[in-house]
Copies of this chain bind each other. A is one copy, B any other.
Amino acid sequence: MDDPKPTADGPAFADEQTLLPAIAQQAGTGRVLMLAWMNREAYEETLRTGRAVYFSRSRGELWRKGDTSGHHQRVRRVLVDCDRDTILLEVEQLGPGACHKGYESCFYREQAADGLAEIESPTFDPKATYGD
């Protein structure tokens, strides 16, 4: 076959360096937990293992969510947008939260006129989970 990658077979990773945004949404509640990035390798490992794997831009390596905290994400469903450049994961978040700051969701602050206001309380102690 000349074209082993038909246009609609998955996200449009142009090459091995391409990073696409991946949204993790809690199955059931629909809460948006976080946004991270995936390269092709992270995406394929996520599909293969059923566990969310991202690419850490700060560390420059695959980030198997939960390896340090134990707060894995079981992937129920993977959706891809119209332009094939954004990924939406429906996940089951294990443990008390997705956020490395100790919250259920990374979106724990709302924009108010005078700055960001916390709209909820932490669900775990990040120091105890991640160390200092």
Residue ranges of A at the interface with B (Cβ–Cβ < 8 Å): 6, 8-10, 21, 23, 25, 29-32, 34-35, 47, 77-84, 86, 88, 99-101, 103, 106-111, 114-116, 119
Query: Are B30 and A79 closer than 8 Å at their CB atoms?
Result: no
User: Complex Cα distance A45/B22, Å?
Assistant: 26
User: Complex Cα distance A25/B82, Å?
Assistant: 16
For the complex formed by this chain, how many copies does it contain in all?
2
User: Complex Cα distance A9/B112, Å?
Assistant: 9
CB distance from A126 to the nearest CB of B (A): 10
Apart from A10-B116, A32-B88: 15 A-B pairs, beta carbons within 8 A: A8-B115, A21-B21, A23-B23, A23-B32, A25-B30, A30-B31, A35-B81, A47-B111, A78-B111, A82-B99, A82-B101, A82-B103, A82-B108, A83-B106, A88-B107
